[in-house]
Amino acid sequence: MESKHYDLIVIGAGSGLNVASAAANQLNWKVAVIEDGPLGGTCLNRGCIPSKMIIHAADIAETINRSELFGIQSEITHIDFEFITKRANDIVDADAENIKEGVNEHQNMDLYQAKGTFVSSKTVKVDGVEITGDRILIAAGARPFVPPIPGIDSVDYWTSTEALRQTKQPKSLAIIGGGYIGMELGHFYGALGTEITIIEALDSLIFREDKDVSTMFTKLIGEKYSLHLKSNVTNISQDDSGMKTITFETEDGSSKTIETEALLVVTGTKPNTDSLNLGVTEISTSERGFIEVNEYMETSVENIFALGDIVGKAPFKHGANYEAQIIFKNFLNNGSKIAADYSVMPHAIFTAPQIAGVGITEQEAQEKKLEYEIRTHQYIKTGMGKAIEAGDGFVKFIIDPKNEIILGCHILGPEASTLIHEVVIALSAGQGKISAIKNSIHVHPALSEVVQRAL
């Protein structure tokens, strides 16, 4: 069997490609890139990029539907659903192809477009070739997890991957799972006119968010769509026409049945470690299959690193990019290591309303028995908040009152994904001091005043 040796092997061409290209360009290393799908990873091909492109169409529809609040009578007369999704996917597919061309043209990079599996801790078999590397980076990501619901294998269902690639809008869509992916896709389909039903086993949606955010968001979604909380799906079937019948048990033990044209299952993700044959290596994984790494993104095997969704520490594209920076900086430092610090890791959910957060939630403050204080402000109590009729929006801070330090911030409302960055900068560059925001002059009446006034 043919064999080759590299300075670095990267398995997965999402954020792992950041490290691969930097090593090839700045260190002049010979790098192998292994990817059995389109280049660019989950974010580009089936995650944050295409989803935000189609969600923008939903945001426009939402604006039109609210126009009467501002004295404008309007209506949506036609939706070219295929155009909306095709526009996003054409852009995404072209970007993935451009990335592939760039890798293929690079003299220091070899692309293997096939599945790679370990044959030992330092050897990977791919496309009939055994390759070894001085260093190996595992960035193979994760995939949608589908629970073993009775009947699920006999029906045509979507995961997030398929939901982004539809060309025909369904009249009705049932969503199993109330996390952020399901809620973003529910916003897209629902704002464009699909009848939405959500079935969630817990007592609230997006339960990992701060409790006040989760509570308000659950209330708002319950007013828009058919929402079933504390409900567990017991059976799914499909008739000859393609209609699905979903049976679920409610909190009181009673059984309910709904019919839907389309079904979306979004119940978490599963790391792709099971496809790598890690059993022949000494790489440690958790009970859930995530690769275990230390603060330097090192696995239990020397010179083997891991990042991104397959690690599961910061399951966001910006989290994986940050981890890629840590790994490459440590390559550059050649012995003087930098540890990853997740204490200021923001996130956002692109629903209507938007949600964003950074730092700890109130629940976490209680669990840690911290002394804390809550400071909030409503959008509607600012000039711009009133102008845009953001009646449900608010900013919530968790504060260390003794030292006047920001412990966490959570925002629900328009432009939350942008507003949170003022807090991120205060935490990163201002030592988290309240004064960094409170004492700064804010444009009046910009929406950012709501963040300042909360403090």
Taking only the tens of pLDDT, the chain with its 455 residues reads 678 999 999 999 999 999 999 999 999 999 999 999 999 999 999 999 999 999 999 999 999 999 999 999 999 999 999 999 999 999 999 999 999 999 999 999 999 999 999 999 999 999 999 999 999 999 999 999 999 999 999 999 999 999 999 999 999 999 999 999 999 999 999 999 999 999 999 999 999 999 999 999 999 999 999 999 999 999 999 999 999 999 999 999 999 999 999 999 999 999 999 999 999 999 999 999 999 999 999 999 999 999 999 999 999 999 999 999 999 999 998 778 999 999 999 999 999 999 999 999 999 999 999 999 999 999 999 999 999 999 999 999 999 999 999 999 999 999 999 999 999 999 999 999 999 999 999 999 999 999 999 99
Tokens encoding 270: 């599963």
State pTM to two decimals. 0.96
Tokens encoding 97: 């192809």
- Residues annotated within the binding site are 52, 116, 177-184, 200, 268, 309
CA dihedral 453, 55, 342, 179 (to 10 degrees): 100
444 is catalytic: yes
Among candidate residues 78, 347, 410, 444, the one labeled active-site is: 444
- Residues annotated within the binding site for FAD are 52, 116, 309
- SS3 string, 286-313, reads CCCCCECCCCCCECCCCCEEECHHHCCC
Beta strands in 128-210 (DSSP E): 129-138, 142-144, 172-176, 195-199
The amino acid present at 282, given as its one-letter code, is: E
Bridge partner list, 10:
33, 137
Closest CA to 286 of 270, 275, 302: 270
- Domains of the chain with bracketed CATH: 2-143+270-333 (3.50.50.60), 152-267 (3.50.50.60), 353-454 (3.30.390.30)
Tokens encoding 152: 């699920």
- Residues annotated within the binding site for NAD(+) are 177-184, 200, 268
Give the chain's radius of gyration (CA, Å). 24
